[in-house]
Structure 1
Amino acid sequence: MDVFSRYAPFVQDYIYNHGWHNLRAIQVAAAEELFNTDHNVLLSAATASGKTEAAFFPILTDLQEHPANSIQCLYIAPLKALINDQYDRLTDLCQDTGINVWRWHGDVSQSSKRRLLKHPSGILQITPESLESFMINKHMDIPHLFHGLRYIVIDELHSFLRSDRGGQTFCLIERLSKLADVHPRRIGLSATIGNISAASKFLGAGSDYQTVAPKVNSTGQVWRLSMEHFYKTDPQASADNFDPAQLIGPKTDQAPELADPGIGYIFEHTRGKKCLVFTNSREECEAVCQELRSYAEYNHEPDRFLIHHGNLSPALRQTAEDAMKDEDANMTTCATATLELGIDIGQLESAFQLDAPFTVSGFLQRMGRTGRRGNPPEMHFVMREEHPESRAMLPDLIPWPLLQGIALVQLYLEEKWVEPPRTNRLPYSLLYHQTMSTLASSGEMTPAELASRVLQLAYFHNVSQDDYRTLLQHLLKTNQIERTPAGGLIVGMAGERVVNNYKFYAVFQDNEEYSVHSKSEELGTIVMPPPVGDKIAIAGRVWVVEDVDRQRHQVYCHEVKGRIPAYFGDVAGDIYPKILQRMRKVLNETQMYSYLQGNARARLTQMRDTANIAGLPDNQLINLGGKMWAFFPWTGSYQFLALERLLRIKCADRLNLRGFNSSRPYFMEFAMDCNEAEFFQIIQEEASKDFSSLDLLFLKEVPTFDKYDEYLPDELVRKEFADSVLDIAGMKKLVMQMALDYQRAHGQK
């Protein structure tokens, strides 16, 4: 098939005008599927490979050839910033074609939204939360707006694969399709899909069409990758045999008092370049930006550092994005995952990552921010730790971020492995949310009709009718829903307070936020504002609180010099078992990975020597002296949590367990009266027993884990935690393998 000639003339002109001499393989493969079949299509290819154009060139061709007075393509993205970026690209592509491109989120003007509602057409770009609002508040307009919907494009699909936000998105897609009586094809875009089969199944769940993922032969990609280690104070790990040539640039010779050498390393190696510095939390992002600005001030250099995270005001985030797009501005932006996804921020020279991200997917996405326009991707890990105290025990002598970073890189280099979707969960929190959303949008429904609408959504395939009946009975008791005289169900008084709050549109956890203002400028949001006179950190600077308006949730402040920690609420990350298993293998190997720099090589050698002397990693239970032990399961967060509870609930009495301390998912420390052989025998015996998953919950424990758990009956909260959070099957298998390994190592049968 001659793909180019099949494109609409305006698409051909766009290709000519941009000087493209040929189409990329992903664009040819996508066009053949979209033009010649009715399949759903998963387009998985490297960042900057042309996936967006691969999807939209055929879609736009179809839209021009078959116009309709309806939204014909729905584009769903996880971030408003990504929508804004793609809006500009698509608007440019569709100029003078008659195909309208619309966007709908909190920052879009009401006049633009009114025009869409009056004259629906073309492409609508939206976030899951805005789509939820749409379904509730514009319910009666859905058939009119979407009766000609033919395509749904889900960008950055990988970001939806392991959370209830993804479940919400696909529930909304199914609900909208049924309400508008349409059967749109789904097109998923992602640069970091590991298990193509599982992701395809997730993308197509509840759809009328087969889902395919075109195979594209990718050319070998060159990476520029380094990983360096720093203690936060000298001496460094390679102090005895330090070779300056091992660094990727000059070492800083001027630093503020008590400065962090790792931050100094970043300061020097971003000078005169356009870079991103990724952190794993908003707090760390603020701290790093403050420190980098201190370096600039100390060295009498202009401030060249920007900041970008979810708690900043849209204006400040936009300032950072615009500066990064400016080809002449050599600025460095400190960021969280908000710049991890596919926003076009111009020609970046390199990315820096402080410590290790939680996932291979995150590592690949962050590195993929660089390497555009023909240059190889470039990322530099900077691992930092405090010098261990002289009396520190074994677990504290291991640089876990360094070990984790090596494991993430090696898993992809060796196996091209990326985390698979989370499936087979019991998503009761989302079940509550979609139940309330359905009632709020549709009005009175019989229990049977409501159950039919909600339980038939593909994401709830594991939820039984008995469990749903239990939920509805509880919601009636708590006045979340009410029964009408005719026997129907409607949203109750207590439920109205939940549903009518704008925060209801999101299924991810949020904190009680206060907007921060300095004069006329909005800086962003914080949680738990301090008393008047205290300091806060936001936007990479320090401010003194002048006033707190708790009724309006506003904080007023003025800027001062200095550095203090920031706090935006708890951030949790779960790590997949395969990553911990590869970390264990790193300890056991003798090879020195080519991307490690001088300090990192020295620190890895020290770590391996320390582990070898202690008996790690072959032995998973290490005596720390007397009756104190350290236990290294080498497994992921959810199996680790289940094992932790097996020890504390099922084995504690037999082991006489006490002084239990856990650093999830790396190690546990405790005192016990048993020896090593007795420990493995006892945990094997207890794990092999036939017990309910609920037996690994503490007495009267109701572990709220997801946003809407507080509105669920206790029995469903406990069941969801036991069956969906605790990986008990994986834990049992792990325990049996550990016991078997111990027996083999000690010549036992």
Structure 2
Amino acid sequence: MTDPADALDLLDPALAHHIVNALGWRSLRPLQEAAVAPLLGGEDALLLAPTAGGKTEAAVFPLLTRMNRHGWKGTSVLYVCPLKALLNNLHPRLRTYAEWLGRSAELWHGDVTTPRRRRILTDRPDILLTTPESLESMLVSSHVDHRAFFAGLHAVVVDEVHAFAGDDRGWHLLAVLERLSRVAGRPFQRVGLSATVGNPGELLSWLQGAGQGRRPGRVVAPDADRTAPAPSVDIELDYVGSVANAATVIAALHRGEKRLVFCESRRTVEELGEQLRLRGVTTFLSHASLSVDERRRAEQAFAEARDCVIVSTSTLELGIDVGDLDRVIQIDAPATVASFLQRLGRTGRRQGNKRNCLFLALDDAGLLAAAALLLQWSRGWVEPVVAPPEPRHLAAQQLLALCLQEHRVGENLWQQWWGGVGPFGPDAAPVVRHLVEQGFLDQDGGLLFIGPEAERRYGHRHFMNLTAVFTAPPEFTVFSGRSEIGRTDPDLLTEEVTGPRKLLLAGRSWLVTYIDWRRRRCFVVPADEGGRARWSGFGGDRVRSFTLTRAARDVLLGEDPPVRLTKRATARLTKARETHLHTVHPAGTLITRLADGDVRWWTWAGHRANATLAASLPAVVAPQRRFGDQWVRLRDDLSPARWKSAVADTAAGMCLPDVDGRAVRGLKFSEALPARLAEATLAARAADEEAARTVLAEPVRLTTLTSP
């Protein structure tokens, strides 16, 4: 690690002067100190630190120094974020840092106006803050000379890189970076910023893309190597039983403090927001279906207020600044330990304050999930970030985008654009054939170019739909007068109702006065109470991993998380343990046969492992309602001999889960794939073969119960 006394001296003198005199820093933080030398040396890096750990400065200060030292011209640094709101939040800081050295930083995303974009194209900023989708739009736009614009590119910072890598936006980001590297004519330095992850080395290798093994790279995480005790935390788990009760608890506790409440669905955010306002609590809301202006007003008002609550989905989990928080409250449990750590890191930033989180469980399932997550967190475990397997649909999207970008691409040269990264190498050849056969691409004289089917499906508004990686369910935009409030599910506008039709949005009830079906718009006026909120999606309910489901089994076997449990939480956990007395065993799995003939195999293996087991044991698995996170339903004529035979048959290999053909509709660009490949992609993503094999290797006990 760089000596603290030397770290500032290694930076540009003008930059170091402003750090000391404008920011008032006498030294850099540990991560910032440790990052200076490798980043100045041009190495790729993954910088790890908790929320508010100074990751942005750790990346930007050395890169600004390199920029001045080596005389980089034009747009030489990209700063990529997963959220436009995060970019908006970071822009003033980065602009200030750049201006200290006579440099500039600008925003480029979907909300940036056309005149401002024209100015950016004319006078290229040194740092461009953007999203992967906006980068793709620049590459395919006829209004952007991408070769000239990106000619000076030397470094890319990917903020919240773990948020990209765990889903398809990560594959999209990697593919766009490889294309940018070829456009710029050089490999560029890649710096990822992340909170704690379970596999930092693998995440860095993933970020390096085609540079893996060719470019130097290191994980910089000085806090992980420290022997000093971690900051003290204050965690409490309570059971409240309903959204209304949660609002009562929140209204009564921590008066005079600023509280951030995380919910796991937009509907819960809306319902809790309404209940808090009914109890006289100053409340603001933030979720993806609220309008940009509505969210921005809420976040700004919350940042400036004191005695108030902001209720949010994961939109405020990442590093958006909402001021100095006193408390974080979690309704039920987030899906991952990593999310919990992000949320916990929002508190305890003031000197002498502890990091804290109050869990409020709405039902028994939420209580068990929260207890399991806290138990696993106490063991020092964090999920590894793993890219989704077999993203063939993104290979199709990238091939179309490349042909749009270059107009014509050699039929044997397209692989070179991605340097063989992941799904964009030889394995994509069947996808190319399908695109040509179905008219998405035309082929002539050894060249590939956009075909009539791609024009028909994606050509609207200059192929805008081709740059969006996800399929979103259709929603209606809700207006009060001329002000946009947000978006709602069309089912709320079509279902039969008795009396007036009311919506719940932005934490308030609205009376529907007019619906414009053609333009998908809904007009409302304020109402007293009685509004309803709902949003649907293609993903269905969230699924728990093998590790967290097994932690839930540990809780039911009597292990409490080392946090404060209220009397209500303790009583409900005791009841849950009694209920599950015959479904858990420390030495293996259980098969229970109830008096009504219901036979279940209690694996406690998680949804994906159970889906794999159900597909791999067809001789003994019931044909309908086959599995959940905790169990697999078996045939009522199960016998020990049939069980033994079915398990023996899996020795040849596990089977991937069956995929409902209708699920393919939720896979963006699935229409550009052969149906079998689209279904194979979804099947691979629904499986957990390693966990399934672990379960099959465990002892199994068969018991008969006399009552359900």
Q: 1:476 to 1:576 in 2, by over 3 A?
A: same
Q: 1:692 to 1:96 in 2, by over 3 A?
A: closer
CA distance in 2, matches of 1:424, 1:332: 35
Task: Quote the residue 1:626 is aligned against.
Answer: 596
Task: Quote the residue 2:7 is aligned against.
Answer: 3
CA displacement 1:619-660 (0-9 Å, x = unmatched): 43223323112332222332222223334xx225xx6x3653
CA distance in 1, matches of 2:453, 2:508: 41
CA displacement 1:83-111 (0-9 Å, x = unmatched): 01110111233335321011101111222
Deviation for aligned residue 1:312: 0.9
Task: Quote the residue 1:274 is aligned against.
Answer: 258
- The answer as to whether partners of 1:659 and 1:670 remain within 8 angstroms in 2 is no
Once the two structures are superposed, the pairs formed by residues 400-415 of structure 1 within 5 Å of their partners are: 400-415=365-380
Of 225, 234, 254, which residue of structure 1 is paired with 2:235?
225
Q: Does 1:355 align with 2:322?
A: no
Deviation for aligned residue 1:459: 2.8
Task: Quote the residue 2:348 is aligned against.
Answer: 371
CA distance in 2, matches of 1:658, 1:427: 29
Task: Quote the residue 2:706 is aligned against.
Answer: none
Once the two structures are superposed, the pairs formed by residues 235-274 of structure 1 within 5 Å of their partners are: 260-274=244-258
Q: 1:711 to 1:527 in 2, by over 3 A?
A: farther
CA distance in 2, matches of 1:638, 1:540: 35
SS in 1 for 2:306: coil
- The answer as to whether partners of 1:287 and 1:564 remain within 8 angstroms in 2 is no
Task: Quote the residue 1:136 is aligned against.
Answer: 140
Q: Does 1:15 align with 2:4?
A: no
Deviation for aligned residue 1:690: 4.8
- The answer as to whether partners of 2:626 and 2:634 remain within 8 angstroms in 1 is yes
Q: Does 1:635 align with 2:587?
A: no
Of 74, 77, 86, which residue of structure 2 is paired with 1:73?
77
Once the two structures are superposed, the pairs formed by residues 688-703 of structure 1 within 5 Å of their partners are: 688-690=651-653, 693=656, 696-697=657-658, 703=664
Q: 1:469 to 1:214 in 2, by over 3 A?
A: closer
- The answer as to whether partners of 2:239 and 2:568 remain within 8 angstroms in 1 is yes
- The answer as to whether partners of 2:589 and 2:700 remain within 8 angstroms in 1 is no
SS in 2 for 1:674: coil
Give 2:545's aligned amino acid: Y
Give 2:375's aligned amino acid: Q
Deviation for aligned residue 1:262: 2.4
CA distance in 2, matches of 1:620, 1:226: 32
Task: Quote the residue 1:537 is aligned against.
Answer: 504
Of 281, 284, 294, which residue of structure 1 is paired with 2:278?
294
Deviation for aligned residue 1:729: 4.9
SS in 2 for 1:64: helix
| Structure 2 length-normalised TM | 0.90
- The answer as to whether partners of 2:269 and 2:311 remain within 8 angstroms in 1 is yes
| Structure 1 length-normalised TM | 0.85
Give 1:229's aligned amino acid: Y
Deviation for aligned residue 1:541: 1.4
- The answer as to whether partners of 2:234 and 2:354 remain within 8 angstroms in 1 is yes
SS in 2 for 1:371: coil
Once the two structures are superposed, the pairs formed by residues 197-596 of structure 1 within 5 Å of their partners are: 197-207=201-211, 208-216=214-222, 217-218=225-226, 219=228, 220-232=230-242, 260-296=244-280, 303-326=281-304, 328-374=305-351, 375-385=353-363, 399-415=364-380, 417-423=381-387, 425-454=389-418, 456-460=419-423, 464-465=426-427, 468-484=428-444, 486-496=445-455, 497-499=457-459, 500-528=462-490, 530-531=493-494, 534-570=501-537, 571-572=539-540, 573-591=542-560, 593-596=562-565
- The answer as to whether partners of 2:239 and 2:572 remain within 8 angstroms in 1 is yes
SS in 2 for 1:448: coil
Of 659, 666, 672, which residue of structure 1 is paired with 2:630?
666
CA distance in 2, matches of 1:70, 1:107: 23
- The answer as to whether partners of 1:226 and 1:595 remain within 8 angstroms in 2 is yes
Give 1:304's aligned amino acid: T
Of 81, 86, 91, which residue of structure 2 is paired with 1:82?
86
Of 614, 624, 635, which residue of structure 2 is paired with 1:644?
614
CA distance in 2, matches of 1:26, 1:492: 50
Deviation for aligned residue 1:700: 7.6
Deviation for aligned residue 1:210: 2.0
Give 1:715's aligned amino acid: R
Deviation for aligned residue 1:42: 0.7
CA distance in 2, matches of 1:127, 1:459: 21
Q: 1:706 to 1:405 in 2, by over 3 A?
A: same
Of 697, 704, 719, which residue of structure 1 is paired with 2:680?
719
Give 1:367's aligned amino acid: L
Q: Mark the runs of 5 or more structure 2 residues left unpaired by the alignment.
A: 703-708
Q: 1:658 to 1:437 in 2, by over 3 A?
A: closer
Q: 1:702 to 1:6 in 2, by over 3 A?
A: closer
CA displacement 1:537-591 (0-9 Å, x = unmatched): 2111122222222332222111212144312222543432111122212222345
CA displacement 1:142-183 (0-9 Å, x = unmatched): 221222222110001110121110110111111111111122
CA distance in 2, matches of 1:702, 1:540: 32
SS in 1 for 2:684: helix
SS in 1 for 2:611: helix
Give 2:31's aligned amino acid: I
Q: 1:57 to 1:611 in 2, by over 3 A?
A: same
Give 2:346's aligned amino acid: R
SS in 2 for 1:460: helix
Deviation for aligned residue 1:506: 1.8
Deviation for aligned residue 1:63: 2.1
- The answer as to whether partners of 1:527 and 1:569 remain within 8 angstroms in 2 is yes
SS in 2 for 1:561: coil
- The answer as to whether partners of 2:372 and 2:548 remain within 8 angstroms in 1 is yes
Deviation for aligned residue 1:704: 4.9
Q: 1:354 to 1:590 in 2, by over 3 A?
A: closer
SS in 2 for 1:357: coil
Deviation for aligned residue 1:230: 2.1
Q: CA RMSD in A?
A: 2.6
Deviation for aligned residue 1:323: 1.6
Q: Does 1:60 align with 2:51?
A: no
- The answer as to whether partners of 1:687 and 1:735 remain within 8 angstroms in 2 is no
Give 1:316's aligned amino acid: E
Deviation for aligned residue 1:23: 1.8
Q: 1:492 to 1:534 in 2, by over 3 A?
A: farther
Once the two structures are superposed, the pairs formed by residues 671-686 of structure 1 within 5 Å of their partners are: 672-675=636-639, 677-678=640-641, 680-686=643-649
SS in 1 for 2:594: strand
CA displacement 1:30-81 (0-9 Å, x = unmatched): 012112x231011101111211111111112222334443111100000011
SS in 2 for 1:333: strand
CA distance in 2, matches of 1:537, 1:16: 49
Give 1:541's aligned amino acid: R
- The answer as to whether partners of 2:19 and 2:25 remain within 8 angstroms in 1 is no
Q: 1:651 to 1:58 in 2, by over 3 A?
A: same
- The answer as to whether partners of 2:269 and 2:285 remain within 8 angstroms in 1 is yes
SS in 2 for 1:315: helix
Give 1:420's aligned amino acid: P
CA distance in 2, matches of 1:130, 1:5: 36
CA distance in 2, matches of 1:339, 1:5: 36
SS in 1 for 2:532: coil
CA distance in 2, matches of 1:600, 1:166: 38
Q: 1:292 to 1:669 in 2, by over 3 A?
A: farther
